[in-house]
Amino acid sequence: MIVAGPGVSREDLVNMQPEHDTFVGVDSDGCVFDTMEVKQKQCFHPVIIAHWHLEPIGKYVRQTAEFVNLYSKWRGTNRFRALKILFDLLAEREEVQQSGVKLPATEALGRFIESGVALGNPALAQAVAQTADPDLDSLLRWSEAVNAEVARVARNVPAFAWAKEGLERISAHSDAICVSQTPGEALMREWQQHELAPCVRVIAGQELGTKAEQLALAAAGKYGAGRVLMIGDALGDLEAARACRALFFPIGPGHEAECWQRFCEEGYGRFLAGDFAGSYETALIEGFKTLLPETPPWSR
């Protein structure tokens, strides 16, 4: 049975019964779809600047936000965590300090992040209702504005070459789910639009918890050692995989099509054959890490 859609719950992941002896979790943004640049540069970053009136330092906000969300070890981080990292990095920048522009307070954001809830709009709306905190309310309005802008702007962004081929191969031999920190309704729209939804059994968005939680709920205890694989484009995807003892196939930012081709022609076959862990996976991950640095270019 295909279970997918915004109405999906954590129980749907827990109740997934293996139909194959292998499991594959696939991230969506920047991994299957070429959406990262459009969503970040045209939706997240302009809305951050407008919402918190950061126009005078817009150049530095954009540069810092692009580093955090696209070209660093934080690529793919949950939007609320990424926002806190952005404001913290901005606070350290000399140009920002000299501008005299006041950055938004991050205490309430920090408490929300550390509260242990699934970091999505439903939990945030609940926190706003419970605390009436104006900073949290502002955060929620920002997050809703981002969703509206993503729905308006990021339409019909194509899947990377070879990604559909890869997903079709996966669905023939493995139990697959989409593992993502994007809101479920946006995921559903994108996966249906490109006829990829039938390739996975569940489409999991940010409302279902972290990627590691999603993987654990769907796969823990159901498959043998070396029979669970995560495919992603960010270090957070790698960490989620490791937290669940899953193997990892990276889709390198800027090299997506060639990575998917390699997955189709080589990686997936090796995974199915039990010939993936070890030097093959290590070499893939080493190459991947060089694309996602920790130090910002302006402080090198």
In the complex, least distance from residue 34 CB atom to Mg ion, rounded to whole angstroms: 11
Binding mask 232-251 for Mg ion (x = CB under 5 A): -x------------------
104 or 232, CB closer to Mg ion?
232
Residue 12 or 233 having the CB closest to Mg ion: 233
Beta carbon nearer to Mg ion, 108 or 230: 230
Half-sphere exposure of 112 (CA within 13 A, CB side): 32
Rounded to a whole number of angstroms, the minimum distance from the CB of residue 30 to Mg ion is 4
Task: Please report how close the Cβ of residue 75 comes to Mg ion at its closest, in angstroms.
Answer: 7
x/- track of binding to Mg ion for residues 69-98 (CB under 5 A):
-------x----------------------
- Binding piece for Mg ion, criterion CB under 5 A, among 25-33, 50-58, 215-223, 283-291: 25-33
Closest CB to Mg ion among 28 and 106? 28
Site for Mg ion contains 30 (CB under 5 A): yes
Of 252-291, binders to Mg ion (CB under 5 A) are none
**How many angstroms from the chain centroid is the CA of residue 24?**
16
User: Does 175 engage in binding with Mg ion (CB under 5 A)?
Assistant: no
Q: Give the nearest distance from C-beta 163 to Mg ion in angstroms.
A: 12
| Contact (Cβ atoms closer than 8 angstroms) between residue 251 and residue 29 | no
216-235 residues in contact with Mg ion (CB under 5 A) are 233
Whole-angstrom distance, CA of residue 72 vs CA of residue 74: 5
Our CB check for Mg ion shows the closer of 76 and 183 to be 76
Q: Of 23-31, 78-86, 92-100, 170-178, which part binds Mg ion (CB under 5 A)? A: 23-31
The string of DSSP codes covering 220-243 is TTTS-TT-EEEEESSHHHHHHHHH
Instruction: Retrieve residue 216's tokens.
Output: 């654990």
**CA 144 – CA 125 distance, rounded (Å):** 10
Indicate the SS3 state at residue 29: strand
Binding segment (CB under 5 A) for Mg ion, from list 26-34, 59-67, 106-114, 255-263: 26-34
Cβ atoms 173, 23 nearer than 8 A = no
CB 258 within 8 A of CB 287: no
- Residues 12, 27, 175, 213: which binds Mg ion (CB under 5 A)? 27
SS3 of residue 276 by DSSP: coil
Least Cβ distance, residue 129 to Mg ion (angstroms):
30
Q: Does 31 bind Mg ion (CB under 5 A)?
A: yes
HSE at residue 67, side-chain half, CA atoms within 13 A, is 17
The nearest distance, CB 76 to Mg ion, in angstroms, is 4
Cα(193)–Cα(227) distance, rounded to whole angstroms? 30
The arrangement of strands across the sheet holding 23-26 comes to 202-204, 175-179, 23-26, 228-232, 247-250
CB 132 to Mg ion: min, Å: 34
Output 36 or 127, the one with its CB closest to Mg ion: 36
Number of alpha carbons in the 13 Å side-chain half-sphere of residue 127: 25
Q: Are 69 and 63 in contact (CB under 8 A)?
A: no
**Owner of token pair 């890869």:** 166
Question: Rule CB under 5 A: which residues touch Mg ion?
Answer: 27, 29-31, 76, 233
